[in-house]
């Protein structure tokens, strides 16, 4: 199927500003970018009338199984596996309707996100592309044990990596430190979990299979171990140091800070008391570490922890706004949620150029004037297919 989008203001995910253009989409990819009025006719046509077209957004840290309520772990426990699958599918669809056409899911009970990714790829349900970790590789009793594979020592870590690769995981997730939310006893924010040696084995084995590695890492020692071990992205990165950010910059290690989630944990109503208390201790340090990473030139991508307490599906625009408020230039914030994110996830996408997947968000007003305009959804295209409201704007060419 071919489709032409005529007379849009198109931002390609890289340039400093949008330009007037027509887009030709064929068989799920962008086959041409033309001057206004110069695209050949297609089977389907959409008159954009100056609406703004950006690459489909990428949320680099979500949990599709989680509800976004005050205590999503409890919700999963109460609903069980089958109902949680249905919830994950609904959350994926909500992401797509907002213009998020790719998510990286970094932890799901029963490997549900891997199943949802497969169902979307096969056209069974609608949703964004899901790069799914499924269950995560952790030490015995480590962070988020409800979806962890307990792995102590090099052999166990190797076995866990191979297990997740064998079921179709698109990324490997591990915990280098404790966290704020997940379990009320048995873990501390700054406590290192998997050792440097275990993390190094994990990264080497995952990379051998062409899989990237994301490390949950809040405490300084655990972040240092993860960076030194060669993980690809540091999730959260609350207690950074100048030495660590310099190593990240040198190696190209990416920071996915998830800025909004700890503020939501600290301030949101009905959050479990243990999590709110811990979150209040990290909010200031998180902001300071993010500024340190920006000053050092560490690459930053946008991830929301969507599904976590008071972080709903979707929440990406709010995270982009916070990244900008905390000092990331607006253009870089847009790239953090499009082209830079897709590159960090080792996926083709996040750009509008010939040969790229036809994943597009169309909005009514200029996102370069305000990131909030990304919420003014005019239409969404995924793999060349109009989504929801856009279908009503399509006419036969």
- Rg of the chain in Å (alpha carbons): 20
| Pairwise CA distance, residues 353 & 365, whole Å | 21
Summarised one tens digit per residue, pLDDT across range 72-118 is: 999 999 999 999 999 999 999 999 999 999 999 999 999 999 999 99
The CATH topology of domain 2-55+351-396 is Urease, subunit C; domain 1 (2.30.40)
Domain ranges of the chain: 2-55+351-396, 57-344
Summarised one tens digit per residue, pLDDT across range 205-232 is: 999 999 999 999 999 999 999 999 999 9
Q: Top-level CATH class of 57-344?
A: alpha beta
Residue 189 pLDDT class (50, 70, 90 cuts): confident
Could you tell me how far CA 74 lies from the centroid of its own chain? 23
| Pairwise CA distance, residues 101 & 92, whole Å | 9
Q: Phi/psi at 57 (nearest 5 deg)?
A: -75, 155
Question: 0.95 exceeded by the pTM?
Answer: yes
Question: Which of 171, 183, 157 lies closest to 114, judged by CA?
Answer: 171
Do 93 and 124 touch, CB atoms closer than 8 A?
no
| Pairwise CA distance, residues 272 & 341, whole Å | 31
The Cβ of residue 122 has, within 10 Å, a number of other Cβ atoms equal to 8
Summarised one tens digit per residue, pLDDT across range 353-395 is: 999 999 999 999 999 999 999 999 999 999 999 997 676 677 7
């Amino acid at each position: 199927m071919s489709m032409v989008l005529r007379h849009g203001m198109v931002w390609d995910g890289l340039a400093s500003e949008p330009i007037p253009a027509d887009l030709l989409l064929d068989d799920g990819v962008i086959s041409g970018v033309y001057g206004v009025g110069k695209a050949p006719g297609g089977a389907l046509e959409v008159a954009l009338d100056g609406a703004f077209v950006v690459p489909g957004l990428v949320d680099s840290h979500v949990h599709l199984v989680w509800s976004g309520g005050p205590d999503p772990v409890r919700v999963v426990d109460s609903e069980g596996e089958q109902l949680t699958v249905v919830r994950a599918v609904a959350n994926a669809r909500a992401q797509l309707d907002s213009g998020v056409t790719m998510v990286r899911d970094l932890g799901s009970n029963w490997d549900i996100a891997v199943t949802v990714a497969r169902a979307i790829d096969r056209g069974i349900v609608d949703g964004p592309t899901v790069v799914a970790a499924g269950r995560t590789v952790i030490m015995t009793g480590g962070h988020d044990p409800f979806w962890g594979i307990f792995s102590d020592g090099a052999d166990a870590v190797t076995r866990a990596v191979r297990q997740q690769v064998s079921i179709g995981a698109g990324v490997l997730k591990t915990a280098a430190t404790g966290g704020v939310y997940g379990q009320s006893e048995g873990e501390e924010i700054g406590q290192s979990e998997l050792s440097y040696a275990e993390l190094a084995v994990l990264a080497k084995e995952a990379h051998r299979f062409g899989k990237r590695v994301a490390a949950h890492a809040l405490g300084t020692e655990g972040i240092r171990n993860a960076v030194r071990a060669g993980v690809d992205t540091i999730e959260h990165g609350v207690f950074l140091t100048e030495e660590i950010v310099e190593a990240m910059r040198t190696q190209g290690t990416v920071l996915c800070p998830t800025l909004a989630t700890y503020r939501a944990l600290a301030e949101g109503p009905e959050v479990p008391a243990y999590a709110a208390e811990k979150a209040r201790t990290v909010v200031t340090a998180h902001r300071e570490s993010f500024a340190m990473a920006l000053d050092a030139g560490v690459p930053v991508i946008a991830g929301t922890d969507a599904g976590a307490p008071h972080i709903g599906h979707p929440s990406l625009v709010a995270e982009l706004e916070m990244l900008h408020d905390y000092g990331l230039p607006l253009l870089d914030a847009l790239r953090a949620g499009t082209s830079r994110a897709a590159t960090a996830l080792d996926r083709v996408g996040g750009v509008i150029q010939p040969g790229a997947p036809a994943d597009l968000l169309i909005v009514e007003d200029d996102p370069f004037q305000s990131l909030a305009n990304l919420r003014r959804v005019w239409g969404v295209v995924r793999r060349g297919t109009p989504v929801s409201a856009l279908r009503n704007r399509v006419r036969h060419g």
